[in-house]
Amino acid sequence: MSELKTRIQEDMKAAMRARDSARLGTIRMLLAAVKQREVDERVELDDAAVSSVIERMIKQRRDAMAQFDSGGRADLAQREAAEIAVLEPYLPARLDAAQLDAEIRATIAELGLGEPRDLGRLMPALKTRLAGRADMAQVSARAKALLGPAG
């Protein structure tokens, strides 16, 4: 079993003991999503795969928060924000802008890329390399900028 999944299960037990129903509900939802993916793919997920499940759940909650805010439902937006606060600590440390640029430049050099049209070859490598450590929308924007202007 992955270390991350074990940590999440231990945190669930601690939330049960503390009678922290909000935290417990979010952790149970996370474990259910992990279990569902394991059943669908018929494999036991490693830490990277569990992190991708967590990232997807956080993205869904951010999207829901934006919709609730625009709809005037601050109460529901706060609930989504609370769930994000429970999920985020399970992700690996995020890269800052300088580290992100360094990783992108290193990948560009390894693959021998240098033109804007190479973005299609660069992004799959970056996705594998930076999984869980950076927002892929931000990575894509930085990669486009580092590859140079289209032309």
**Average pLDDT, rounded, for the chain:** 92
pLDDT tens per residue across span 16-62: 999 999 999 999 999 999 999 999 999 999 988 898 899 899 999 99
Determine the straight-line distance between the first and last CA of the chain, rounded to whole angstroms.
48
CB 113 within 8 A of CB 147: yes
C-alpha 24/C-alpha 15 separation (Å) is 5
Closest of 121, 126, 120 to residue 138, by C-alpha: 126
> Is 90 exceeded by the pLDDT of residue 83?
yes
Q: Residue 69: exposed, middle, or buried by beta-carbon count in 10 A (0-12, 13-18, 19+)? A: middle
**Can you give the pLDDT at residue 56?**
93
Question: Cα–Cα distance between 146 and 97 in angstroms, integer?
Answer: 13
The pLDDT assigned to 147 comes to: 87
> Quick one: tokens of 14?
């601690």
> What are φ and ψ of residue 42, in 5° steps?
55, 40
Higher pLDDT, 92 or 105: 105
Which domains are present in the chain? 3-90 (1.10.1510.10), 97-147 (1.10.10.410)
**pTM (2 decimals)?**
0.76
| CB distance 89 to 58 below 8 Å | no
